[in-house]
Amino acid sequence: MNSITSLIKLQKVDTQLQEIRELLGDLPIKVDELSQKEKSFVEEIDQAKTRIKEINLDISKKDHNAKVIQVKIQKLKDQLFLVKTNKQYDALSREIDYLKEALDRIETEELEISVEKDTLSEETQERENNLGSLTSDLHERKSSLESLIAESSEKKENLKNERQTIVADVSDSVISKYDRVLSARSGMAVVEVLDSSCSGCGSMVPPQKMADVKKGEGIQSCDVCSRFLYWPTKSD
- What size, in residues, is the chain? 236
Q: Are 120 and 52 in contact (CB under 8 A)?
A: yes
Q: Smaller CB distance to Zn ion: residue 25 or 206? A: 206
Q: Smaller CB distance to Zn ion: residue 21 or 180? A: 180
Q: Rounded CA gap, 234 and 7, in Å?
A: 18
Does 224 interact with Zn ion (rule: CB under 5 A)? yes
Q: How far is the CB of 47 from Zn ion (least distance, A)?
A: 60
Q: How far is the CB of 230 from Zn ion (least distance, A)?
A: 12
Q: Rounded CA gap, 33 and 42, in Å?
A: 14
Q: Rounded CA gap, 177 and 69, in Å?
A: 90
Q: Smaller CB distance to Zn ion: residue 211 or 224? A: 224
* Type of residue found at 91: A
Give the residue among 218, 35, 14, 17 at the shortest CA–CA distance from 142.
35
Q: How far is the CB of 170 from Zn ion (least distance, A)?
A: 20
Q: Smaller CB distance to Zn ion: residue 68 or 224? A: 224
Q: How far is the CB of 236 from Zn ion (least distance, A)?
A: 18
Within 13 Å of residue 102, how many CA atoms lie on the same side as its CB? 16
Sign (positive or negative) of CA dihedral 83, 88, 92, 97: positive
> How many residues of this chain interact with Zn ion, rule: CB under 5 A?
6
Q: Are 188 and 182 in contact (CB under 8 A)?
A: yes
**Residues in 100-129 that interact with Zn ion by CB under 5 A:** none
Q: How far is the CB of 8 from Zn ion (least distance, A)?
A: 16
**Residues in 148-207 that interact with Zn ion by CB under 5 A:** 198, 200-201
Q: How far is the CB of 202 from Zn ion (least distance, A)?
A: 7
Q: Smaller CB distance to Zn ion: residue 28 or 187? A: 187
Three-state DSSP state, 117: helix
Q: Smaller CB distance to Zn ion: residue 38 or 179? A: 179
Give the residue among 123, 127, 119 at the shortest CA–CA distance from 40.
127
Q: Which residues bind Zn ion (CB under 5 A)?
A: 198, 200-201, 222, 224-225
